[in-house]
Amino acid sequence: MALYSEKVMDHFRNPRNVGVIEDADGVGEVGNPVCGDIMKIYLKINDAKVIEDVKFETFGCGSAIASSSMATELIKGQPLEEALKLTNKAVTEALDGLPAHKLHCSVLAEEAIKKAVKDYYDKNGIEYDPADFPEDHDCEHCHVH
């Protein structure tokens, strides 16, 4: 069996939603404590708190690029609460799996999205449950080591 699924290869070769949103409503940047790679997510959020547009920049490996691409596809057009429920497991499943030693790459996407939503809440004075937003580099949370 190939190491990477066809979906991973597809999203790696043709990543969706790559780029920057200049007037983003929320921006989240995270670094991967395992490898040092970086991911940045930009969200455009409308008055109904639905994600109208999302873009990402990833300075990381192929699995991180594929995970970011898939994650942005999964949250585009979704209400914020749904985007917050996105887990790295869901992203990995949508990609038909990642090799075990690459699972940590998919955590970047989940954390960057959460951080971008938190940024939006902070900028707009919207209350939230801090438990929904684990601290950066909280490796207890991601269980990937």
**Residues with catalytic annotation?**
35, 105
| Distance in angstroms (rounded) separating the CA atoms of residues 129 and 36 | 28
From 8, 15, 37, 69, residue interacting with ligand FES (rule: CB under 6 A): 37
The answer to whether residue 60 forms part of the interface with ligand FES (CB under 6 A) is: yes
The answer to whether residue 111 forms part of the interface with ligand FES (CB under 6 A) is: no
Nearest to 61 by CA among 22, 111, 4: 4
Residue (13 or 123) nearer to ligand FES, CB: 13
Task: Output the CA torsion 96→102→103→108 (10° steps).
Answer: -110
Binding mask 87-106 for ligand FES (x = CB under 6 A): ------------------x-
Tokens linked to 2? 């190939």
Amino acid at 41: I
CB of 121 to ligand FES, least distance (A): 26
